[in-house]
């Protein structure tokens, strides 16, 4: 997934504000799921919501206003009720690594209780292994 850095994404020094990388990860995860036919809204209607239970971010270099970035997203681990997305954000032109990170998501129902991923969801996620976003 490619994103352009706008003024609103930057801090007073013109670099991408550190917390915005988590937002970029979220966008990439949503696109990853939807490309595999797993609409977040559709899952919610089926009483399944994904919540982040752990996140890590390693900042490697800076990105600036006007840059184009590419986010590569894969599922690197899966259990019966959770899965981990791994992300690498690179400068689109130079391929320089800007940020690496991951987020572990758990499936919960409308009452906030952890629930197993259904077989259809697992199959859709496993059908499309490690792919660049």
- What CATH number is attached to the domain comprising 121? 3.10.129.10
Residue 45, helix vs strand vs coil: helix
Query: In which domain, by residue range, is 54 found?
Result: 2-127
pLDDT of 57 higher than 50:
yes
Of 11, 47, 58, 77, which is the active-site residue? 11
Q: What DSSP designation does 6 have?
A: P
Q: Is residue 16 part of a domain?
A: yes
pLDDT of 129 higher than 50:
no
Q: Is residue 48 part of a domain?
A: yes
Token readout for 40 is 């977040």
Q: Is residue 133 part of a domain?
A: no
Q: Is residue 132 part of a domain?
A: no
Q: Is residue 110 part of a domain?
A: yes
Q: Is residue 56 part of a domain?
A: yes
91 classed as catalytic: no
pLDDT bracket for residue 27 (50, 70, 90): very high
pLDDT bracket for residue 130 (50, 70, 90): very low
pLDDT bracket for residue 108 (50, 70, 90): very high
Average pLDDT, the chain: 92
Q: 14: alpha, beta or left, given left = phi > 0 and alpha = psi -120 to 50? A: left
**This prediction's pTM:** 0.89
Cβ-based neighbour number of residue 101 at 10 Å = 18
Q: Is residue 103 part of a domain?
A: yes
Place of tokens 């988590």: 22
Total domains in the chain come to 1
Residues 6+ apart with CB under 8 A from 116: 80, 81, 107
E-strand stretches of 1-133: 2-4, 49-59, 68-78, 82-91, 97-108
């Amino acid at each position: 997934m490619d994103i352009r850095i706008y003024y609103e994404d930057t801090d007073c020094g013109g670099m991408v504000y550190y917390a915005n990388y988590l937002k970029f990860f979220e966008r990439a995860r949503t696109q990853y799921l939807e490309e595999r036919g797993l609409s977040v809204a559709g899952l919610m209607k089926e009483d399944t919501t994904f919540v982040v239970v752990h996140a890590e971010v390693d900042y490697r270099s800076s990105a600036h206003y006007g840059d184009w970035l590419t986010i590569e997203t894969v599922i690197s681990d899966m259990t019966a009720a959770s899965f981990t997305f791994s992300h690498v954000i690179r400068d689109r032109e130079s391929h320089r690594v800007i940020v690496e990170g991951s987020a572990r998501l758990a499936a919960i129902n409308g009452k906030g209780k952890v629930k197993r991923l259904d077989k259809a969801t697992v199959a859709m996620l496993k059908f499309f292994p490690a792919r660049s976003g």
